[in-house]
Amino acid sequence: VPELAYQNGKILPISEAMVSVEDRGYQFADAVYEVIMGSQGRPFALQKHLNRLHRSMSALDFPELSLDLVKEGILKVNEASEIPDSVIYLQVSRGNQVRSHLPEREMNPVLTITVRRADETPVRPLSPGVSAITVPDERWGRCDIKTVQLLPNAMAKTRAEKNGASDAIFLGPENVVREATSSNVFIVKDGVFYTHPLTPNILPGITREIFIQSQAKAGHEVVEEIFSVERLLGADEVFLTGTITRVLPITKVDDIPIGTGRPGPGAAAFLELLIEEIRTQK
């Protein structure tokens, strides 16, 4: 079975799935997306992704699109692929029209879904750690909406690669640590987890949310507060979280070793919890 796409209710090879040159996603980045992990043949945290998709579409005043239909499409194409550990990508653009900044009033959103084999199974040991650089956050003011407008993210990732690092961490004014190019950022200091609060400047990550909620249930608070790069550099641990990233220890930032320079117990605990959630997904 090839890696598959879903378009207009049909399943087809990815190479045969096409969108119009007048798709507003193509011309204006007027589109939103989700990346979902398929594990044991099932989409992980599907309802959370659907809720966030709905939130993104509402924030941009998109025409209505049935979430039941989206869900059905995801399940159908993921099942048809028969890939146990998959990466499900879905994109919804506002629709097609003759190029004009002003969107037409009545539009039909364009939904496309692809399913590919994940590079690695999500149930695997913690990475030995990678390095990151910091870059000024040059993105727009609504990073809480998951749009496909990812050029600054792609440029920052390229800059990281040129500097021999794995990823880039965006810094806001006054060197506030926001997030990485496709992950949220956590630090650990004296056994306490800290991460940026939910504001328009970061994506409300689902991996982030799963961890914060499960910590709360266990009576441990994750402190959601603004902190600067100095606190990140002085932290015991730094790690990234995300659907594809899972939990990734950052052992060096801008060539400065973090803590012991090795992955710490905080990241290990987070990963254990995430794997348990994936294993026992309902």
Q: Which is nearer to ligand PDD, 24 or 139 (CB)?
A: 139
Binding-site member from 113, 206, 232, 275 for ligand PDD (CB under 6 A): 206
Among the residue ranges 54-62, 70-78, 176-184, 225-233, the one whose residues contact ligand PDD (CB under 6 A):
176-184
**Least Cβ distance, residue 244 to ligand PDD (angstroms):** 5
Residue 252 known to be catalytic? no
Catalytic residue among 10, 71, 146, 157: 146
**Least Cβ distance, residue 179 to ligand PDD (angstroms):** 5
**Least Cβ distance, residue 97 to ligand PDD (angstroms):** 26
Whether 95 and 107 have beta carbons less than 8 Å apart is answered as yes
Q: Which of residues 20-49 bind ligand PDD (CB under 6 A)?
A: 35
Residue 217, phi then psi, degrees to nearest 5:
-60, -35
Q: Does 56 bind ligand PDD (CB under 6 A)?
A: no
Q: Does 244 bind ligand PDD (CB under 6 A)?
A: yes
DSSP at 162: H
Whether 40 and 48 have beta carbons less than 8 Å apart is answered as no
Question: What does the DSSP assignment read for 28-76?
Answer: H--EEEEEEEEETTEETTHHHHHHHHHHHHHHTTPPP--HHHHHHHHHH
Binding-site member from 90, 168, 203, 267 for ligand PDD (CB under 6 A): 203
Whether 203 and 180 have beta carbons less than 8 Å apart is answered as no
Can you tell me the distance from the alpha carbon of 54 to that of 92, in angstroms, rounded to the nearest whole number?
A: 10
Q: Does 179 bind ligand PDD (CB under 6 A)?
A: yes
Q: Are strands 184-189 and 192-195 parallel, antiparallel or unpaired?
A: antiparallel
Among the residue ranges 11-19, 92-100, 124-132, 182-190, the one whose residues contact ligand PDD (CB under 6 A):
182-190
Residue 243, phi then psi, degrees to nearest 5:
-60, -45
C-beta atoms surrounding 142 within 10 Å: 13
Q: Which is nearer to ligand PDD, 110 or 274 (CB)?
A: 274
Residue 17, phi then psi, degrees to nearest 5:
-85, 125
**Least Cβ distance, residue 218 to ligand PDD (angstroms):** 20
Q: Does 183 bind ligand PDD (CB under 6 A)?
A: yes
Using CB under 6 A, list all residues that contact ligand PDD: 35, 179, 182-184, 203, 205-208, 241-244
